[in-house]
Amino acid sequence: MRLLKKTSRTYFFISALAFIVSGVVIYFVLSFIFEEQLNEKLMSDRMSVISNIEKDGSVPHFYPFVEVQEVPGQTEQPVISIDTLIFDVNEEENIPFRQISSVVPIKGHMYLVVVRDTLLEKGDLLMTIIIAIGVVFVLLNIGLYFINKRLSLKLWQPFYNTLDNLKGFSQDMPDFKLQHETKIDEFIELNKTLENLTSKVISDYQSLKRFTEDASHEIQTPLAVIQSKLETMMQYPDLKKDQAELIKSAYSSVQRISKLTQTLLLLAKIANDQFPEKRAINLSELLEEKVKLFEDHINVKSLFLKKEIEPNCFLKTNFLLAESMVINLVGNAVKHCITRGIISIKLNKNNLEISNSGVPFPVPSSKLFERFFKINKSSESLGLGLSIVKEICTLNRWKINYVYEDGQHKFIVGF
């Protein structure tokens, strides 16, 4: 959710609550004020009627607002205030009135003085307040939305500029800088912090890149020398059997270390995105080509190979990474497929699915992509093939999933 929408929604709910509370308060305050004013007016009208009778002896009668009648034999009574309904012939409905009545002595006579005035209907008052507050609420929120939108676009423009700069950031940009065209202190501080952070990332990346390159050279060179000398020693004609076995064991270990080093360096390079060259790869052709490399292994294990490969499925990625992913997935399927089992390879523009027959794994599927994890501990495998596939998918923002269905281990890569 965008910040403007979030703040606008917050303003809306807060203002709605404020308007509801203020509407209730206004209703009760106005009701109290109207009633007090009505009572004061009725008492004033009562005193005016009594004054007129005392002055000229005329008895006013203006129904339904003023009624005066002589009540001989009655005693003086205090003012009584009640609310009543009186039928209005013109409106043809009952109208609410507030009336006060009292019996007062005037010039030796007793008079019943009744004074009335219409009450403001609370329903009408409430509806008037709701309409007024509703109109103000709508106009205020519309005005605030457009003001906030215009103001936000102006105030937050430096922030969006920073975001645009960061989207183009790469570890291979030693001269990367952020724009500082802003007078807002918070954004200036943000840009300085981000520049320090990106400078640290670039520095660390360059150091790690140099380390992997140096390590690749410095480690592989002595390993190649050792391997070469062991190969030479294995050619000696006077070697004893136990000496030959020792040399052969050392040679195998050196090969394993060399392969392990190359694989770990590959993982480090993938994790640090040291394969920037990307182009459109025909994955259909690549898959067909790499499957042929495993034909001998497939024949030895009497495996049945099913292929459903759509032609011309292109992916924009690094060729070496695509090749490594295909070789590891196909090789994993061939290696772990049971004898006389089925290997299925399916490819379309959205998914690559490679499956093989086998028994269920006794471990959670999430462990399959961990480094150095092996189902068979005695296996000569390094346990890094699926880790490489996982890193390649993460780098290219592909999704890889594993499922076991109908006796088939399935690895599905979604592009």
Listed ranges 99-103, 134-138, 389-393; the one with the highest mean pLDDT: 99-103
Supply the pLDDT for residue 391.
Answer: 82
Q: Kindly state the helix (H) or strand (E) to which residue 354 belongs, with its residue range.
A: strand 351-357
Kindly provide the residue ranges of all beta strands, DSSP E only, lying in 14-147, ordered along the sequence.
66-70, 77-88, 93-106, 109-118
- Predicted pLDDT at 134: 84
Average pLDDT value for residue range 298-312: 87
Per-residue pLDDT tens digits for 233-279: 777 777 777 777 787 777 777 777 776 666 667 666 676 666 667 78
Mean pLDDT (whole number) for 314-338: 85
* Strand ranges inside 204-278, DSSP E: none
What is the percent of the chain where pLDDT is above 70?
83
pLDDT range class, residue 4, cuts 50, 70, 90: low
The model's pTM is 0.47
What pLDDT, on a 0 to 100 scale, did the predictor assign at position 118? 84
Look-up of token digits 């004054």 = 51
DSSP state letters, 143-184: HHHHHHHHHHHHHTHHHHHHHHHHHT--TT-TT---------
Helices and strands, number each (H, E), in the chain: 9, 11
Q: What is the pLDDT of residues 167-224, one digit of tens each?
A: 777 666 666 677 667 777 777 777 788 778 877 877 777 776 677 666 666 677 777 7
Instruction: Give the mean pLDDT of 46-68.
Output: 84
- For the segment 110-118, the average pLDDT, to the nearest whole number, is 88
Mean pLDDT of the chain: 79
Answer whether residue 13 shows pLDDT above 60.
yes
347-382 per-position pLDDT tens digit? 888 888 989 998 887 666 666 776 666 655 545 555
Cα 329 to Cα 251, 320, 336: the distances in Å are 28, 14, 11
What is the mean predicted confidence (pLDDT) over 6-24?
Answer: 81
Q: What is the pLDDT, as a whole number, of residue 378? A: 46
CATH code of the domain occupying 279-414 = 3.30.565.10
* Contact call for residues 290 and 323 (beta carbons, < 8 A): yes
